[in-house]
């Protein structure tokens, strides 16, 4: 198959969408397909770099790393049409989606779309009125998704939300895959000690780690408050926040106000090939977020054999098994009790740690690639054949 992936977000931006696009691209290429990517250029002019078509864009002050373009007559689009993809898989709902629709209409080919982001949890970036923002998200999602052939979501949580929006196309649940090979590395005790020294963490401290974009919707305020209570009970503990984002300055101020700045480390953005070190440095991975569609960092933590403790959320239902590979919590008291219980009972901790990597085998990039490939084949077949209805008078109607 000739497959076009479209996305607004692309390297050098680092986020879940970019990671998913590159994982899918790699797997489809390994399976013998001709795959190309249409993306907005983070800098510079429109250009083609290998299999990637980059369209000139500019930054917009709506959401961190958000970009837009007015270059809708780009020669890149003409070249893609000349190449002639069999199917388009769009990954974002904005500018690149308009290119996807234009190409699909010109070639009469199907579009499937992965709904990566629950915008209802991000309304604070574009309006102060939460209810108005959520209504706008529903209307926007309906209008965008009614133009695609199939919607892909990573969890039943997202499927349920889109069904509540009354989305028209069929919805397929296919979890995003993870390239396990990035994490199949060891971190020696000497390397761990060296990393602690680099981060100014005392060697005897237990490390609580969280990884992801540092945005208000990630509920890191709650994690910080919980950490203050933990630090008051046990002095030998540190929190490492890996990632960057618009809320970092607020959190740094909060750490100072809480008097825990010496026990909270902001590691910033880490190269994807080095990120495994920070997972493996952690004794426990935590998250207070309820805005995840899937939670790729939760899976990455488990691959790295780190038990997870996360705020209870529907996205965790298929991933986290209570007391097996981690725990969920709903209150600060539960969070503190769980962390203390794990750190105070090494046998329980080690038993859970032993289950972590095994519990996420189903999230491999290979399985992800196979499932998406099968969906492409089904959608293309449906597009080519139409939906046939046999009438009593033996006339055939093709419903498009």
pLDDT reported for residue 357: 96
Q: Supply the pLDDT for residue 306.
A: 98
Confidence (pLDDT) at 44:
78
Per-residue pLDDT, 373:
98
Q: What is the pLDDT of residues 299-344, one digit of tens each?
A: 999 999 999 999 999 999 999 999 999 999 999 999 999 999 999 9
What pLDDT, on the 0 to 100 scale, is given for residue 243? 94
Predicted pLDDT of residue 101? 96
Low-confidence stretches of the chain (pLDDT beneath 70)? 62-64, 124-126, 387-400
pLDDT at 394: 42
Q: What is the pLDDT of residue 397?
A: 36
For residue 9, the model assigns a pLDDT of: 86
Average pLDDT of the chain is: 92
Three state DSSP letters for the chain: CEEEEEECCCCCCCCHHHHHHHHHHHHHHHCCCEEEEEEECCCCCCEEECCEEEECCEECCCCCCCEECCCCCCHHHHHHHHHCCCEEEECCCCHHHHHHHHHHHHHCCCEEEECCCCHHHCHHHCCCCHHHHHHHHHHHHHHHHCCCCEEEECCHHHHHHHHHCCCCCCEEECCCCECHHHHCCCCCHHHHHHHHHHCCCCCCCEEEEEECCCCHHHCHHHHHHHHHHHHHHCCCEEEEEEECCCCHHHHHHHHHHHCCHHHEEEEECCCCCCHHHHHHHCCEEEECCCCCCCCHHHHHHHHCCCCEEEECCHHHCCCCCECCCEEEECCHHHHHHHHHHHHHCHHHHHHHHHHHHHHHHHHEHHHHHHHHHHHHHHHHHHHHHCEEEECCCCCEEEEC
pLDDT at 63: 65
What is the per-residue pLDDT for 22?
95
Q: pTM of the predicted model, to two decimals?
A: 0.87
């Amino acid at each position: 198959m000739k497959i076009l992936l479209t996305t607004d977000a692309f390297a050098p931006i680092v986020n879940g969408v970019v990671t998913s696009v590159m994982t899918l691209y790699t797997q489809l290429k390994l399976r013998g397909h001709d795959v190309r990517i249409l993306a907005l250029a983070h800098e510079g002019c429109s250009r083609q770099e290998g299999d990637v078509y980059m369209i000139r864009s500019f930054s917009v002050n709506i959401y961190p790393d958000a970009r837009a373009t007015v270059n809708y007559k780009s020669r890149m689009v003409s070249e893609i049409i000349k190449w002639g993809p069999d199917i388009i898989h769009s990954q974002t709902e904005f500018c690149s989606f308009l290119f996807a629709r234009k190409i699909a209409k010109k070639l009469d080919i199907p579009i499937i779309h992965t709904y990566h982001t629950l915008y209802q949890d991000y309304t604070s970036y574009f309006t102060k009125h939460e209810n108005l923002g959520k209504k706008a998200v529903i209307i926007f999602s309906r209008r965008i998704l009614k133009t695609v052939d199939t919607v892909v979501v990573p969890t039943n949580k997202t499927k349920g939300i889109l069904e509540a929006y009354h989305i028209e196309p069929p919805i397929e649940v296919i979890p995003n895959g993870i390239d396990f090979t990035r994490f199949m590395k060891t971190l020696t005790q000497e390397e761990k000690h060296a990393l602690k020294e680099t981060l100014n963490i005392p060697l005897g401290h237990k490390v609580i780690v969280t990884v992801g974009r540092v945005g208000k919707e990630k509920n890191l305020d709650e994690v910080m408050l919980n950490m203050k209570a933990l630090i008051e009970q046990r002095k030998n503990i540190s929190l490492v926040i890996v990632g960057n984002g618009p809320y970092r300055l607020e959190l740094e101020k909060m750490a100072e106000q809480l008097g825990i700045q010496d026990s909270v480390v902001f590691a910033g953005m880490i190269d994807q090939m080095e990120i495994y070190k920070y997972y493996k440095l952690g004794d426990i991975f935590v998250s207070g977020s309820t805005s995840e569609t899937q939670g790729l960092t939760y899976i990455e933590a488990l691959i790295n054999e780190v038990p997870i403790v996360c705020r209870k959320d529907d996205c965790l239902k298929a991933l986290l098994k209570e007391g097996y590979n981690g725990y969920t919590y709903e209150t600060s008291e539960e969070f503190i009790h769980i962390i203390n219980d794990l750190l105070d009972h090494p046998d329980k901790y080690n038993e859970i740690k032993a289950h972590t990597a095994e519990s996420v085998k189903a999230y491999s990039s290979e399985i992800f690639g196979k499932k998406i490939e099968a969906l492409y084949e089904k959608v293309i077949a449906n597009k080519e054949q139409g939906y046939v209805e046999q009438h009593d008078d033996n006339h055939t109607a093709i419903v498009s």
